[in-house]
Structure 1
Amino acid sequence: MYPERVLSGMRPTGSLHLGHYHGALKNWVRLQSEYECLFFVADWHALTTSYEDPSIIGRSTWDMVIDWLAAGVDPSRATLFIQSRVPEHAELHLLLSMITPLSWLERVPTYKDQIEKLSHKDLGTYGFLGYPLMQSADILIYRATFVPVGEDQIPHIEITREVARRYNHIYGREAGFEEKAEAAIRKMGPKRGKLYEELRTRYLQDGDEEALESARALLADTQNLSHGDRERLFGFLENKGKVILVEPQTLLTEASRLPGLDGQKMSKSYGNGIFLREEPDSVGRKIRSMPTDPARVRRTDPGTPEKCPVWQLHQVYSTDTTRTWVREGCTSAGIGCLDCKQPVIDAVLAEQQPMFERAQPYLDDPSLVRSIVADGCERARKLAQDTMRDVREAMGLGYQ
């Protein structure tokens, strides 16, 4: 079995805002202490919608990595790299395109949604149609066990699982697979080999899931098997072929509860965001100028917090005590809208302060960021090359 590994990425299409922090980066910081994590700059993905003006990609890439570091992503715990610096992504994407039915790509829900939302752009390209398959290649090339996604991205993980399953079905049944599996069992030794066969029989005949898990643990603990033999026996357990590409699982990420300055979802395209490293004076001005309950025309007019976008920010940033004070003050006109906004301003600035501190060394010496990414690209490429060696061999491309 492969180690539990998490993969996630972001497209470099502009500065990151606090919605990115609450929706993804806080989760990355937590995951890096629980799993082996790889986080990448998806610059090729950015080209699928920004191919006419790619200048934003170069401008955004390094700033985005600094934002990750500012948010608390630790390069000693996670691998940070740039997609295009690992060309094996493109090779696997190409090879997977040979077996992926066109209908699978056309049915991805976000495909038609994005075509409608970005109707001002010409997205009638293969790159845009094929970006879910490139996402699949991004995941499968690292044999990632888990991918943190929101509910809207689950279809992308499902197509990845289908592609991996189809690939393993077509190419995992190597010539003489059963004979090689039987030979591998003998290498385990009489006692372990007999136990493996008993557990396999219990699973295949009775559907005993505990027997399946016990057999997997047995294989993981058997030291004298080659990588290829181990993967054959994992596949043989379930009457499948050799496991070449791992089917990933979703790690469902809770949707960000952080609204934008207008009450809508915080988004670069809506222009309603507060950036991770925005200057305090600018943050204060933005929050003070937020719209409030339309009923509060005058300071003496009572309001309804649920009708005010600022109240949504209080749900994220304020304590129960502060929220009680806001509700009572708003509904009785005991406080004004600027009074209500100040605790939010204070809380946002307090959240951002450590981000500024973590970012400063990289702003002072940009070579530090380049070095982190270079090291990450090297580590990522080694993993990708290991996978591609197996992929090429399975597809008959490993000849000399």
Structure 2
Amino acid sequence: MTDLTRQPHVILTGDRPTGQLHLGHYVGSLRQRVALQTQHPQYILIADLQGLTDNGSQPQKIASNVLEVMADYLAVGIDPSHSTICLQSALPALAELTMLYMNIVTVSRVERNPTVKNEIQQKGFARSLPTGFLVYPISQAADITAFGASLVPVGDDQLPMIEQTNEIVHKMNSLLSEPVLRRCQALLSPVSRLPGIDGNAKMSKSLGNTLTLSATEEQIHKAVGAMYTDPQHLRISDPGQVEGNVVFTYLDAFHPDAEKVAAMKAHYRQGGLGDRQCKMALEECLQALLAPIRERRKEMIADKGALLALLKQGSEKAHDHTQKTLHAVKRGLGLPVMF
């Protein structure tokens, strides 16, 4: 259990701008970022370079989504006066630290990372695997350590990344004249992995089973209507199964009244509660959650100049911070610091 009362904590989170953010991002990390931003220093990285690791042949996809993600951040309540939002490609220290770390991590160690193995299989790379994608855990370690982050909000599928980051911290510190890098720990959300609206795997942009934060009323209605329930629950009077039932998974994640959800589960298991009623309860809470986010987002994305100015401001602040870490590492290794 992470002790959030212990000071000081530095938080680093981020997202690859491969598309608009969705409900999986919201429960997995965004909700926590908003809650914690007034308690601890927080950096939020739009990881465009990591987005290119499996989109290198379509860079416009990444470029066009940078401000889309920025708009999502502001729409959910991330406040630039409390959270520093920055762009990965604007921070050269991250790329240089990645290169330094790559020299102390073996290919076999990266290949053993279960998150990398699963994603390589999911994307069907085989031997066409981009080198950048293979080593992106090292890039993530550079991101985390450059900011001196001690807390990293992640889903449980990202725990191997935290483990590998701390291995790199230990190895690099042993090579430096004195320890510079800080170990980190994962901060898991109560809902670390949200299934897709199709019931398969997790909600993922690459799988096309998401519900974005900008979803319209009709899109929400259609998504909830198509959600998987219990195929054996043929009549309302039949006892139903809650486990594996996507509607109840989403009710647990999003409904504001946990007692009401618990009562619905008991009723469903006993029989007498229809899938339609469950879906109506879910749609009602999702419509209430997303309507204000959708409206704020519409305002934000209409002024891309303002979004870019905020991103530039945050990136300048982050630039100075990450350069200090890079210089400390280079001095510790005996390398000259020229700029």
Could you say whether these structures have the same fold, taking a TM-score greater than 0.5 normalized by the shorter chain as the test?
yes
1:274-313 matches, within 5 Å, as 274-297=211-234, 302-306=238-242, 308-313=245-250
Contact 1:295 1:301 in 2 (8 A): no
Q: Structure 1 regions of 5+ residues with no counterpart?
A: 173-241
Contact 1:305 1:311 in 2 (8 A): no
Taking the aligned partners of 1:325 and 1:110, their CA distance within structure 2 comes to 35
Shift of 1:295: 3.6
> 1:367 matched to which residue of 2?
305
Which amino acid is the alignment partner of residue 311 of structure 2?
Answer: V
Deviations 1:267-306 (A, max 9, x none): 22333322111011221122123344334556x6635142
Deviations 1:90-120 (A, max 9, x none): 1111222233344432332223222222225
Shift of 1:358: 3.0
> 2:331 matched to which residue of 1?
393
Partner SS, residue 62 of structure 2:
helix
Contact 1:8 1:148 in 2 (8 A): yes
Taking the aligned partners of 2:147 and 2:229, their CA distance within structure 1 comes to 47
Shift of 1:134: 1.1
> 1:28 matched to which residue of 2?
33
Determine which of 157, 160, 174 is the counterpart of 2:162: 157
What is the TM-score with the length of structure 1 in the denominator? 0.74
Q: How many residues align?
A: 328
Taking the aligned partners of 1:321 and 1:124, their CA distance within structure 2 comes to 47
> 1:212 matched to which residue of 2?
none
1:1-400 matches, within 5 Å, as 4-120=9-125, 123-172=128-177, 242-256=178-192, 258-264=194-200, 265-297=202-234, 302-306=238-242, 308-318=245-255, 319=257, 320-321=259-260, 324=263, 328=267, 332-333=271-272, 336-394=274-332, 395-398=334-337
Q: Structure 2 regions of 5+ residues with no counterpart?
A: 1-6
Contact 1:263 1:312 in 2 (8 A): no
> 1:175 matched to which residue of 2?
none
Taking the aligned partners of 2:335 and 2:278, their CA distance within structure 1 comes to 67
Distance 1:244 1:295, change over 3 A: closer
Partner SS, residue 8 of structure 1:
strand
Deviates more, 1:106-115 or 1:79-88: 106-115
Of structures 1 and 2, the larger Rg is shown by: 1
The percentage of counterpart residues that share the same residue type is 33
Taking the aligned partners of 1:250 and 1:82, their CA distance within structure 2 comes to 22
Taking the aligned partners of 1:128 and 1:359, their CA distance within structure 2 comes to 31
Distance 1:3 1:385, change over 3 A: farther
Taking the aligned partners of 1:18 and 1:329, their CA distance within structure 2 comes to 25
Taking the aligned partners of 2:199 and 2:53, their CA distance within structure 1 comes to 29
Taking the aligned partners of 2:268 and 2:152, their CA distance within structure 1 comes to 44
Distance 1:301 1:399, change over 3 A: closer
Deviations 1:169-195 (A, max 9, x none): 2221xxxxxxxxxxxxxxxxxxxxxxx
Which amino acid is the alignment partner of residue 240 of structure 2?
Answer: T
Contact 1:330 1:336 in 2 (8 A): no
Distance 1:257 1:116, change over 3 A: closer
Partner SS, residue 16 of structure 1:
coil
Deviates more, 1:357-366 or 1:14-23: 357-366
